[in-house]
Amino acid sequence: MTMKMTGKPKILTIFGTRPEAIKLFPVVQALSSRKNFETLTCVTAQHRQMLDQVLQIADIRPDYDLDLMKANQSLDDLTARLLSGIGKILDETMPQRVIVQGDTATAMCGALAAYYRQIPVSHVEAGLRSYNIYHPWPEEVNRKIIGTIADQHFAPTETSADALRKENIPAEQIYVTGNTVIDALLITANKPDQSDLADILSPLYKKFGGRKIIGVTSHRRENLGDGLTNIASALRILAMRDDVALIFPVHLNPKVRTIMHDALGDLDNVAMIEPLDYPNFVSLLKHCHFMMTDSGGVQEEAPALGKPVLVMRDTTERPEGVAAGTAKLVGTDKDVLLSEAIRLLDEEDHYLAMARAHNPFGDGTASRQIADIIEQSLAS
């Protein structure tokens, strides 16, 4: 834990998971280039191992590291420790503004702890709504709580800005910036390879040469149980085709790992590998034919590289991708999953329509816009 001592206003960015780190590292870099305030970072390590990968790649050394990760932690225990731990950091640093991203427990508790101290909150990726508090769970309620507290809402799209307006957020507090994940993606895609895991994917691309690679990610809490079992069954049937290979970075959750290994572990053209560092994940997006995922971020990232996305969820807080045609909601019904995947494999016109659809999630300038707005608000 380090402490910088300056007389400048302090901006504290709080995050705890790999997706937050990916979406916030361009913001932290943009803020750090400004001279009128001090940029501090606090990580909670809600996801320790997966977070550290991104910190190393982005060359971010947190000023505060709460290291809260515990195996099989319950949401109520995690929330209590987050509130208490973040609160102590806020009392020590007394920042002029707190920045949180998205809809994690860390983001919600960071906003709530700041509110308890009447510290203004900026919300990156604001206004996402599925309008179902149990899908995704608990993220839908987390982001609504943050939306109630924040006074700067950085909406990635007009759709998310409209959702905030409907909740009576003042128009002058809403800024449509695009999504910072596109900034992160373009920064990473244009970097020379720096990954420790580079030798994992290259042999797989060689091994699966001539096959259409389907990239798979699945980890959502609401899919645990029947949903995940259905997904695993559909993937097994897909993998029976001799023109297909699956590359599946398997989430660290032991429930996910058990179900997937039971269903897919004996198939030669399915590569179940450890979670990828971010540059390798970008490499997978480049090399895959399309993605099957229940992740939020992949719905934004894959279209930026021209790859269709089948969203294995019943709802999405990113309807822009579905409306634009870059993504399709397919739920977790085995037959629907199979039929939609087979269409992308066999119907070239359908594939190209999705691959060439315009990505509605941004142009790579969101972080600079956010830093500009925060800097101007401190000066006023």
Q: Are residues 57 and 151 in the same domain?
A: yes
> What is the pLDDT averaged over residues 74-103?
97
What is the pLDDT averaged over residues 118-126?
98
What per-residue confidence (pLDDT) applies to 224?
63
pLDDT, position 222: 59
Which residue range(s) make up the domain with 260?
Answer: 198-355
3-state secondary structure the chain: CCCCCCCCCEEEEEECCHHHHHHHHHHHHHHHCCCCCEEEEEECCCCHHHHHHHHHHHCCCCCEECCCCCCCCCHHHHHHHHHHHHHHHHHHHCCCEEEEECCCHHHHHHHHHHHHCCCCEEEECCCCCCCCCCCCCCHHHHHHHHHHHCCEEEECCHHHHHHHHHCCCCHHHEEECCCHHHHHHHHHHCCCCCCCCHHHHHHHHHHCCCCEEEEEECCCHHHCCHHHHHHHHHHHHHCCCCCEEEEEECCCCHHHHHHHHHHHCCCCCEEEECCCCHHHHHHHHHHCCEEEECCCCHHHHHHHCCCCEEECCCCCCCHHHHHHCCEEECCCCHHHHHHHHHHHHHCHHHHHHHHCCCCCCCCCCHHHHHHHHHHHHHHC
Give yes or no: residues 280 and 217 share one domain: yes
The answer to whether residue 188 is domain-embedded is no
**285 within domain boundaries:** yes
Are residue 108 and residue 222 in the same domain, yes or no? no
CATH number reported for the structural domain that contains residue 113 in this entry: 3.40.50.2000
**Share of residues in the chain with pLDDT > 90 (%):** 73
Q: Are residues 81 and 216 in the same domain?
A: no
Give the tens place of pLDDT for each residue, 301-342. 999 999 999 999 988 888 899 999 999 999 999 999 999 999
Is the pLDDT reported for residue 180 higher than 80?
yes
State whether 292 and 260 are in the same domain. yes
Q: Is residue 192 part of a domain?
A: no
Reported as a pLDDT band with limits 50, 70 and 90, residue 189 is confident
Provide the annotated active-site residues: 103, 125, 139, 219, 221, 251
Residue 1 counted as domain residue: no
Q: Is residue 189 part of a domain?
A: no
Whether residues 170 and 242 share a domain: the answer is no
Looking at residue 4, what is its pLDDT? Answer: 53
Determine the pLDDT at residue 232: 92
Q: Clarify whether residues 374 and 324 are in a common domain.
A: no
Does pLDDT of 363 surpass 80?
yes
123 and 22 belong to one structural domain? yes
Most confident of 163-172, 187-196, 265-274: 163-172
- 253 lies in the same domain as 350: yes
Asked if residue 185 has pLDDT above 60, the reply is yes
For residue 186, being part of any structural domain is answered with: no
Q: How many domains are contained in the chain?
A: 2
Average pLDDT of 70-98? Answer: 95
73-87, 208-222, 277-291, 318-332: range with lowest mean pLDDT: 208-222
106 located within any domain: yes
pLDDT of residue 47: 73
Whether residues 104 and 227 share a domain: the answer is no
* Judgement on whether residues 240 and 215 belong to the same structural domain of the protein: yes
Q: What is the pLDDT of residue 51?
A: 84
Q: Does the residue 193 lie in any domain?
A: no
Most confident of 110-114, 246-250, 251-255, 315-319: 110-114
Q: Compute the average pLDDT of residues 24-51.
A: 92
Asked if residue 235 and residue 143 are part of one domain, the reply reads no
